[in-house]
Amino acid sequence: MKISDFNLRHLRAAAAIGHLRSISAAAQAIHISQPAITQGLAKLEAMLGQPLFERRTDGMFATQAGRLLFPRIETALTHIISPRVTMTQLRALIALADAGSYASASNAIGLAQPSLHRAIGDLSVALKRKLVERRGKGVALTEQGKRTARRFRLARSELEAGLSELAALLGHETGRITIGAMPLSRARILPAAVAAFHRNHPDVAINIIEGAFHELIEPLRDGDIDLMIGAMREPSPGPDVAQQQLFDDRPAVIGRKNHPALSSETSLENLAQYPWIIPAGGTPLRAGWQSMFDKKSIPLPQVPIECGSVITIRQILIESDFLTLLSPDQVAVELEAGWLAKVSNISQGYTRNIGVTTRTEWRPTGMQAKFLTFLKKISQAT
């Protein structure tokens, strides 16, 4: 059962009945005939495999399934804005935004190109805004189109969460958790949490997308990623994003085994004489590294290589006299094997706040909430 199988009018009608507790009142409120609403509700409940209402003499009262689903529908409709939008139009705009061309979008969702063109055109008329513009031989979304596509993705995410919760109600632990994994989370915390969660809930799919903060934040805002794990940003990325701390991480100066700095005084002045490999500006690690030298008025060392990939950094360190600043967790295997060495601890004043980043309005499903519980327990045990 996919979101694309559902009719937005039927979902809108069900949410209205849930709010007003009456089919006739809902029909009046959303301007759909009573027979059409009754027929649509019957189809919707048949697709879901469970009733959404208890029919009583004093009105229609939401079942547990309805109480789970209706807030999700209402939030999705808030993102969609117009009652004239259809599921086909929603899918068409998201597909075009993802694929970048009508041909690719057509292949992605199995909708003929003429139908796709018509859906986008009708959507533009319904919303009274230009969504697509020609650029050379291709097409691109306008700024309004991009904003609308984001809202539609968030609506889709809410509806998918609703279906997942209804499946869980029937005893089917289905659904998907999509996690954005920033570098530090991949070392120990995230693998441990995923393994523990999977042992308890093997039927829930987990999708891990690796990337830096700037690569993951927009998919998070779009609803394509449920949560991000890694170094928190200060100041906050914006009011639409919430950050929750898991633990503090204290990086160390790392170099190859037998690094010359190991046989001499490991003062910051001495370490500044060697070349460093550090992530580019704009990352918490780079800012902390720079602050470490600035506080002691030591000129910054040379940084001939900027890199955020631990795998790449590790190999460069092994084959050179470069130094870097990393959490020992990120190179635990290499330290244990003796390929790399901890050259020096750093000032007690510098730690990185590692946490979970979500959308401010995000409401986790039951399974997503359970995963967060596993993640927090493992983080507290570090």
**Do both 60 and 143 map to the same domain?**
yes
Q: How far apart are CA 331 and CA 342, in angstroms?
A: 10
Structural domain of residue 337, as residue ranges? Answer: 251-350
Residue 110 resides in a domain: no
Q: Is the peptide bond before 191 cis (omega within 30 degrees of 0)?
A: no
User: Residue 150 phi/psi, 5° resolution?
Assistant: -60, -45
**Do both 256 and 311 map to the same domain?**
yes
**Do both 222 and 163 map to the same domain?**
no
Domain count, the chain: 3
Residue 97 resides in a domain: no
Residue 95 resides in a domain: no
Q: pTM of the predicted model, to two decimals?
A: 0.86
For the chain, the residue count is 382
From 106, 137, 171, the end of a domain falls on: 171
Report the candidate in 72, 51, 80 with the shortest Cα–Cα distance to residue 63. 51
DSSP string, 142-172: -HHHHHHHHHHHHHHHHHHHHHHHHHHHTT-
Q: How far is CA 203 from CA 158, 171, 181, 194, 199, in A?
A: 20, 11, 21, 13, 10
**Do both 164 and 201 map to the same domain?**
no
**Do both 39 and 186 map to the same domain?**
no
Q: Going residue by residue through the chain (382 aa), what tens digit of pLDDT does each one get?
A: 789 999 999 999 999 999 999 999 999 999 999 999 999 999 999 999 999 999 999 999 999 999 999 999 999 999 999 999 999 999 999 999 999 999 999 999 999 999 999 999 999 999 999 999 988 777 899 999 999 999 999 999 999 999 999 998 988 877 889 999 998 888 789 999 999 999 999 989 999 999 989 999 999 999 999 999 998 998 888 999 999 999 988 899 999 999 999 987 788 999 999 999 999 888 888 988 999 899 999 999 999 999 988 899 999 999 999 999 999 988 989 999 999 999 998 866 678 889 999 999 999 999 999 999 999 999 987 6
**Do both 374 and 275 map to the same domain?**
no
Quick one: which H or E segment has residue 62?
strand 59-62
**Do both 343 and 232 map to the same domain?**
no
R_g of the chain computed on alpha carbons: 26
Q: Is the CB of residue 288 less than 8 Å from the CB of residue 348?
A: no
